Amino acid sequence: MLKTKGFSLVELLVVVAIIGVLAAVGTIAYNGYVDGARKAAAQNAMQQIALMQTEYYSITGGYYGVSDCSPSATGTSEINKKLFDTEGDEKVIDVERYEFCVQEEKEDSLVVGFVVKAQAEAPPSCEVDDKCPKVFTLNSKGENNF
């Protein structure tokens, strides 16, 4: 009787297929964890901005913000400059793939608070397919939608 050592081609293909399935599932799970971590980092940054608003109010007697805003790189840059006193390319608020802005909250033309907004960068298909990322908000009273 002749004995051969090693694997047959079919056995090898089955092992490769199993490894491929495990890799695909692992990649999907990993991407979910990374997106969740970015979202948590953005929420922490929003709370950090809200804390700096308290300090800004104690120094200037008012809140920093614009009358209307959409999260953008410019808004994030202005927050770093105005609230965190950064210069040049220095950044305190810098969450990968997220942009921020601060909007004034008004009652009877008086600024009574602020709303911090954050949004993940929109994919190119955002306008066409209406798949834009959700805008997270946190106001001066601590109310949020995340």
Interval 19-40: pLDDT, tens: 999 999 999 999 889 999 999 9
Q: How far is CA 130 from CA 36, 82, 127, in A?
A: 21, 33, 5
* pLDDT at residue number 5: 79
Any idea what DSSP says for residue 25?
H
Which of 56, 20, 34, 50 is closest to 120 using CA atoms? 34
